[in-house]
Structures are given as structure tokens and as C-alpha cells.
Amino acid sequence: MKADKKPATWPHDIYQAFKRTGIRQVAYVPDAGHTQLIQSCHGDHEMKTVSLTTEEEGVAMLAGGWLGGDRGALLMQSSGAGNCINMLGIIQECRFPLLMLVTMRGEWGEFNPWQLPMGQSTHDILGRAGMAVQHVDDAARVGETVFAAAQMAFSAYRAVAVLIGQRVIGFKDWSK
Amino acid sequence: MAKRQKSTLDRRDALRAILAKRGDALLVTGLGSTCYDAGTMDHPNTFYLWGGMGAAAMVGLGLALAQPTRRVIVATGDGEMLMALGSLATIGADRPRNLAIVVMDNELYSETGMQPTHTSRGVDLAAMAKAAGFARTGTVHNLKQLSAWVPPLYKTPGPVFLVAKITSQRYPMSIRLRDGTAIKNRFREALLGSKAFD
């Protein structure tokens, strides 16, 4: 049960927002929802795109990137958001900018019960860890939401998470 | 397990020998004693981590990617490195040529009551880094061995990984600068000039 039968354009919209913002480092733990965006970033020679073993590595990496003058973005699935909490302390204490894009599971039409604990608490947990958390459920608004979040991250020196709702990603029909 | 060699290396002598040759290299310290040690040789090209255990190597990677023409040195402790073994795989896979990591390994969690770390029971961080794909790795136990390793830390195409086995000697905390925003801004201004505040 995909949210939209047509090929999704929002991953490209995010990529365009990255280009407008001048994103130079992209760190990710793969998620199916981010497949197309990860491919675009790997194919862009102006971006240094790094595959991580765990999400918190990306928080530390992008802090180092900013120290060196690079803007970055961190991509993950909601199941990995909790891994970042300790490292987010660095971001908060030093007021590093951070742009985090989280594709949501365990949120809407989820069939896998193991996704629920993290999916239902991602918003609160990241907020309590000092991030501004923005949720987008409309595929047409993903690009502008990411661009606006990037502006807040890099111009206002804040940690901003964009949660891309499961309505945008679609879910597996487990009913039969 | 390889035969264990006793260390005669003092932690501050070791870091002093390394940083004497820093030139325009950028330094990231892990939290705890390496932060305090580096504080006795303060420099605007040093970024001190006072928290975020496990962050040092990856902060170094991000910095190395952003500044490919500058050497980046990460100095951290064995406990801090053990908390981020996955980052060895990430760095080994990415192979940044300008990154070198030095682990000051006293085989103890010296900030928290001198409990032994896994390196005291044979876990070999240099072997792990080598298996992860680091270009050059090694372990030293005295000042003479360390001195021979200083030029490769700055010149050998990386990623480079050195374990400096040090004694359990402790020193008083000797750094006052601890405000994270100030440490970040000082580092960026020294490196990027007026662009630091764009």
C-alpha cells in the first residue's frame, strides 16, 4: 500500500534542497525510504557520502565536518534515532548545526510490532535531546520542509530533525 | 595472544613528543585524560571533547573530509576508542588519507576509578584497525619507539592508527577551557577566518 503509485519525486526534492543549501557531507545508515537519495548523493562528486555502522557516528562526523567548514546531513530510519542520544549532547553543548532526516517506521499502518517502540517515541526523544523536530506527512512538502530545516540548522546554529512520515513512505499490506 | 611488553611511556611525554611536530595539523582530543594532557599544550587548532564518549574518531573523520589538505590527528584513550569500534570499520572503509588516530592506552578507565579496560585483557586495538583497513597501524611501548612513529603520524598516507601503551601515571586536570561553544568557535575562527561566522 504505497502512498502514491507514481514514482516518488520527494527524494529528488530533498537532493535539490541539499544542493541549494550547499550540503557537502552526507552520512547515513541505509533505509529503504532513503534509497534514491543515497544514490543521488553517492553520484555527486561535490558530496562526501559516508556509510556508517551506527547512527551516532554520523552525529560526531558532522560535528567534525562543521569544524572544518562543511555543511552536512544525516540520514536514518526512526529505529536508529535512539542510538544518537549521547552524541546529541555534543551538538547541544557546542551549538553545532545538525540536519537530520528520519524516515519513519512504526508510525502509520506499521505491520512489524518491533518498530513501534522507537517509531512512537522518536519525536519526543529527539525533542528532549535538544533538537527542533519537524514532521512532514505530505510528499509535496518534503523538499521545502528540508530546505527550511537546513536554513534553521546552518543559519541559526541549531539541531533540526525532519521526520518524514510513514504516509509519505508507504507501508506493507499485511492483511492477507 | 602476543607476548605483553611493559610500557615505560609517560602519557604527557608521549603527547608532547607528538605535538612538538604538529605544524599546521588539526587535533581532536577524546574526553578525559587526553583532553587534559592536550590542554597543557593548548593551541587554537585543537578541538577538545569534554563529553560524548566514543565521538573522537568520527569527529576526526568529518574534519578530515572537510579539510583534505590538512593533517588531522585524533588523540584519545583506550576506553573512549573501545566505545566506538564501529567507527574503525567506517574509517577503514572510507580510507581518508589525511587522518591519523593515536590511542593513549593505559589499559584503564582512569577517570572513573582505574577499572581495567578490555585492552588489559588482550584486546588489540591496532590489530582491529588493521583488519578494518587502516593503511598503517602499530603499537609502541617507549619513547624511542614513539619517536620513530611521529613522522608517519603526519606524513604516511592514512588512515594511520597508533596505540601508545602508556603507564598508569595520572596528572591533575590542567585545562580551564571547557565551554563547548567557545571551543568550537575558537577552532573554526583559527581555521576558517571570517568565514567561521558566515
pLDDT at residue B32 above 60? yes
What is the model's pLDDT at position A6? Answer: 66
What is the model's pLDDT at position A172? Answer: 75
Strand partners, B74: B28, B101
Contact B180 A95 (CB under 8 A): yes
Residue among A21, A45, A83, A94 with most chain B CBs within 10 A, to mutate? A94
Closest CA to B168 of B123, B118, B108: B108
Average pLDDT over residues A151-173: 93
Average pLDDT over residues B8-19: 96
Average pLDDT over residues A70-83: 97
Average pLDDT over residues A5-34: 93
- Contacts with A157 (C-beta within 8 Å, 6 or more apart), sequence order: A95, A96, A97
Q: Is residue A2 part of a domain?
A: no
- Residue B90: which of A25, A50, A62 has the nearest Cβ? A50
Low-confidence winner among A76-90, A161-175, B97-111, B116-130 (lowest mean pLDDT): A161-175
Average pLDDT over residues A126-154: 97
Phi-psi sector, A109: left (phi>0), alpha (psi -120 to 50), beta: left
Average pLDDT over residues B141-163: 97
Which chain A residue lies closest to B52 (C-alpha atoms)?
A87
Instruction: Quickly state the pLDDT bin for A4 (edges 50, 70, 90).
Output: low
Average pLDDT over residues B183-196: 97
Low-confidence winner among A45-54, A104-113, B85-94 (lowest mean pLDDT): A104-113
pTM above 0.80, yes or no: yes
What is the model's pLDDT at position A5? Answer: 58
Q: Is residue A83 part of a domain?
A: yes
Domain range annotation of chain B: 11-191
Cell 582530543 -> residue: B29
Helix (H) or strand (E) holding A126: helix A116-128
The order of strands in the sheet holding A48-51 is A48-51, A23-28, A71-77, A98-103, A159-164, A132-136
What is the model's pLDDT at position A173? Answer: 78
Q: Is residue A159 part of a domain?
A: yes
How many separate helices (H) and strands (E) can be counted in chain B? 8, 8
- Tell me the residue range of the domain where A92 lies: 10-168
Nearest Cα of chain B lies from the Cα of A131 at a distance, in angstroms, of 16
Q: Is residue A49 part of a domain?
A: yes
Which chain A residue lies closest to B196 (C-alpha atoms)?
A69
What is the model's pLDDT at position A170? Answer: 82
Residue among B90, B101, B179, B194 with most chain A CBs within 10 A, to mutate? B90
Residues of B at the A interface, defined by Cβ within 8 angstroms: 26, 28, 47, 49-67, 84, 86-87, 89-90, 93-94, 180-181, 183-184, 187-188, 191-192, 195
CATH of the domain at A156: 3.40.50.970
| Exposed / middle / buried, residue A113 (Cβ in 10 Å: 0-12, 13-18, 19+) | exposed
Q: Is residue A61 part of a domain?
A: yes
**Residues B11-191, CATH architecture:** 3-Layer(aba) Sandwich (3.40)
* CA distance readout (Å), B8 to A13, B39, B115, B173: 58, 22, 20, 22
Q: Is residue A175 part of a domain?
A: no
Q: Complex ipTM, two decimals?
A: 0.96
- Residue type (1 letter), B59: V
What total of structural domains would you count in chain A? 1
What is the model's pLDDT at position A174? Answer: 76
pLDDT at residue B117 above 60? yes
What is the model's pLDDT at position B163? Answer: 98
The whole-chain average pLDDT of chain A stands at 94
pLDDT, tens digit (0-9, with 9 covering 90-100), for A77-87: 999 999 999 99
CA distance B184 to A3: 43
Residues of A at the B interface, defined by Cβ within 8 angstroms: 24-25, 48, 50-54, 56-70, 72, 86-87, 89-90, 93-96
Chain B residues close to A52, C-beta within 8 Å: 86, 90
CA distance A123 to A128: 9
Chain B residues close to A72, C-beta within 8 Å: 62
User: A123: which 3 cell numbers?
Assistant: 519525536
Residue B54 has φ and ψ, to the nearest 5°, of 100, 0
Count the residues in chain B: 198
What is the model's pLDDT at position B3? Answer: 60
Contact A67 B191 (CB under 8 A): yes
Cell 602499530 -> residue: B138
What is the model's pLDDT at position B22? Answer: 98
pLDDT at residue A29 above 80? yes
pLDDT at residue A3 above 60? no
Instruction: Quickly state the pLDDT bin for A1 (edges 50, 70, 90).
Output: low
Peptide bond preceding B157 in cis form (omega within 30 of 0): no
pLDDT at residue B188 above 70? yes
